[in-house]
Structure 1
């Protein structure tokens, strides 16, 4: 009986000893200062809401540049302007200037935004008309937040794909429903943290079936966005460009196919539609 208890104790103790040795081997490397950590979870126990106050308190104790280990993920926290400026060469080394140029010049330049000024005016007029219609009989309560969400997404998607997906007058009801459901799911997963990102064992056992749901959502989003790109390509070849973001990127694809692949275009759509 005592031998069995001793064996169980060793099985529990050995992983902690292995983790301790691993941490000691890592500590020999030149990392920025960091607070005390625990085996497996690292510094996750230090993270308490609100996070900005937690990081402020830690930086006051360990300096403007500190290292944390969130489970199995090593991170570096830079919490001052001067320190961030010192790290600028490193940040630029790992930046993607091509993607930045696409966003700043090809999509959100002053010229491109001015082209869509009439589009924005039209969506605002639609909103005002809806408000005036609802209040035509008498005073009425209006939930403004949902109306502004509809306005924002309709402006974005008309700029991106030339389509409206929100409101009662969305042209394709089923496609609009699919788009709204996709954005709702993407927003849900983007605003939550997945424990498996920090503790790999949870990813291996697919904790709460998160990974399977995420893969299924990714496949659905990719299929939907590819349909938008293919539809724009077909319309562009048959009826000419509508000057939407997708049409503009497809025109650039003709001259630089290696830079403006369908995958790149879909990524940009998803990025700006989820803002």
Structure 2
């Protein structure tokens, strides 16, 4: 009974301390901050956020202007909907706004916030950006993979044509575009397809698909534990344990791809082959962890089936169809 009273008292004191802290922060008058709606202690404005988010933000912008602020629990957020202000954020003030929030997801999955998408601005981030710009996203490197992109578009066209060979048919394009994206990325990275036909190792492909499904579930900022410290402290929903398990699984898979390439010493023109060749001359800049981090960023980006991705894929489909008709 005494132990129960002790734990209950400590829990109550902890909750009161947290609530008092957030109440003080809420009452503090911050000058020069964008306007915002009234907020609650601990939750901030989370109770006001409704889906779809863009409509909620639009409603706030109508009342508070093109630049307004919100508190997602303990995280301070500024929403900018003015094109001129957005341009200023990414030009004049880009360094000020370069740092990323430190989430549990980026701690465990993104190698303790060290990937180019999670690292804070500094020497390490600048080095990763240099590697990305020169060795991955340069015009020359991307042009070398043009054949892969063309071939994957052909695969998609053949699949669509089979579905409609008996007349008009409904197709679910979201999953097809997602598979197209991942096949392109992985053929560039390691020279393998993991979706559809021509999958050489079904077991490895199954593991990859499972990891991508799990990463998509944790992608973005959709976990309340990331914004309410109390939920993080008690590991509500076992979020941190699940992230650690996924991080280990992802790291083992990516390391396996690197080890396979290193052991076979193939002369394929894949991204891993290229980065491993650079590792021999500059081991301090091209460690296995940096290589895995670069691949991871590409894969996480591939989980985003946004309008930009769909527009890119549709543009390729239309261009390829036109070339077929002309031929």
Q: Is the shorter-chain TM-score for this pair beyond 0.5, marking a shared fold?
A: yes
Q: Which is higher, the Rg of structure 1 or of structure 2?
A: 1
CA offset digits 1:85-139 (Å, max 9, x no partner): 4443432353544434433332233322222233334434445555667778x66
Q: Secondary structure at the match of 2:182?
A: helix
Matched, 1:154 2:183: yes
1:218-257 to 2 correspondence within 5 Å?
218-236=247-265, 239=266, 241-257=267-283
Q: Contact between 2:193 and 2:199, CA under 8 Å: does it hold in 1? A: yes
- Quote the offset at 1:270 in angstroms: 1.4
Q: Secondary structure at the match of 2:95?
A: helix
The corresponding residue for 1:71 is: 73
Q: Contact between 2:26 and 2:40, CA under 8 Å: does it hold in 1? A: no
1:18-29 to 2 correspondence within 5 Å?
19-24=22-27, 26-28=28-30
CA distance in 2, matches of 1:121, 1:235: 27
The structure with the greater share of residues assigned to helix is 1
> Which of 141, 149, 160 is 1:112 aligned to?
141
CA distance in 2, matches of 1:268, 1:64: 34
The corresponding residue for 1:91 is: 94
The corresponding residue for 1:3 is: none
- Quote the offset at 1:171 in angstroms: 0.7
CA distance in 2, matches of 1:109, 1:152: 19
CA RMSD between the two structures:
3.0
Structure 2 stretches lacking a partner, 5+ long: 1-8, 99-120, 303-327
TM-score of the pair, normalised by structure 2: 0.69
Instruction: Please identify, of 225-234 and 93-102, the stretch whose mean Cα deviation from structure 2 is larger.
Output: 93-102
CA distance in 2, matches of 1:130, 1:213: 36
Distance 1:195-1:169 versus aligned 2 partners, 3 A rule:
same
- Quote the offset at 1:258 in angstroms: 2.7
The corresponding residue for 2:227 is: 198
- Quote the offset at 1:176 in angstroms: 0.9
Instruction: Please identify, of 199-208 and 185-194, the stretch whose mean Cα deviation from structure 2 is larger.
Output: 185-194
Report 1 or 2 for greater relative contact order, CA contacts < 8 Å, sequence distance ≥ 6.
Answer: 2
TM-score of the pair, normalised by structure 1: 0.80
